[in-house]
Amino acid sequence: MTLVYKDLLSEFRSRETISSMLVFSMLVVAIFNFAFDPGSAYAQQAAPGILWVAFTFSGIIGLNRSFVHEVDKGCLHGLLLAPFEHGAIFFGKMLGNLIFISIVELLTLPLFAVFFNLQTLQGLPQLLVVILLTTLGFSAVGTLFSAISVNTKTREMMLPILFLPVVIPILLAAVNATAMIFDGKGWNDISDWLRLLAAFDLIFISLAYLTFGFVVEE
């Protein structure tokens, strides 16, 4: 929690990560709104995909910044020198990323609902659960790959190349579950997708936690 608080405080002071994520996310939603006729069948069909395109790519912006502050002045070494297991750093950074991405998602969602004329309030609890489970797995994998890509010369490019193929199962489940929610389906209908998301989260968090120590070791 110490690490999460530090990340939140740094971000509150600089406001550089969340603001860039939010601008990107809202731009995606706005551009797609102009591309499709609001309320049309095409817009309704494309809406889940558009929502997750906005969330995914704005999330990548945040994940890219996640370890930049840690390596700028060697702070990652400062963390690694502390007398605890390195896996704790993974959980701290993952939780921070989860909070940042979730804030952007929650701020984007109302704008998306207005632009795409969606009655999201009806399926809002289901949608929030899908978003939370997806963002959790997304943050776990993203934190691990962010730690890998931050030491490469082309880190902005490297992260999506490494990260996106791995999170495809999560994104597929998220888009399908979201489409069902937008179609007015209930908890029972989306339960398979929720179980799949929860299973992926469990697998990805465990694997990322176990491999993080090897990733940060030089």
Partner 1 sequence: MIDVRNLTKSFGNLYALRGLNLTVSRGTCLTVFGPNGAGKSTFIRILATLSKPTQGEIRIEGKDIFTNAEQYRNRLGVIAHATYLYDELTARENLVFYSKLYGIPDRDATVNRLLDEVGLGKRGNDRVRTFSRGMQQRLSIARAMLHNPDILLLDEPYTGLDQHASELLTGWIMKLRSDKRTIILITHDLAQGLEVADEVAIFLRGRVAHSAAASNFSNKEFQQLYFETVAGGREN
Residues making contact with partner 1 (CB under 8 A): 2, 6, 9-10, 13-14, 69, 72-75, 77-85, 217-218
Compare residues 17 and 126 and give the one whose CB is closer to partner 1.
17
Q: In this structure, how many other beta carbons lie within 10 angstroms of the beta carbon of residue 175?
A: 20
Compare residues 14 and 19 and give the one whose CB is closer to partner 1.
14
Question: CB 40 → partner 1: shortest distance, Å?
Answer: 45
Question: CB 86 → partner 1: shortest distance, Å?
Answer: 9
Compare residues 150 and 180 and give the one whose CB is closer to partner 1.
150
Question: CB 77 → partner 1: shortest distance, Å?
Answer: 6
Q: How far is CA 59 from CA 54, 70, 136, 143, 217, in A?
A: 8, 18, 12, 11, 25
Q: In this structure, how many other beta carbons lie within 10 angstroms of the beta carbon of residue 163?
A: 22
Compare residues 78 and 110 and give the one whose CB is closer to partner 1.
78
Compare residues 91 and 116 and give the one whose CB is closer to partner 1.
91
Residue type, 21: M
How is the chain split among helix, strand and coil, in percent rounded to 5? 85, 0, 15
Question: CB 10 → partner 1: shortest distance, Å?
Answer: 4
CA dihedral 10, 11, 14, 17 (to 10 degrees): 140
- State how far the Cα of 148 lies from the Cα of 144, in Å rounded to an integer: 7
Question: CB 84 → partner 1: shortest distance, Å?
Answer: 6
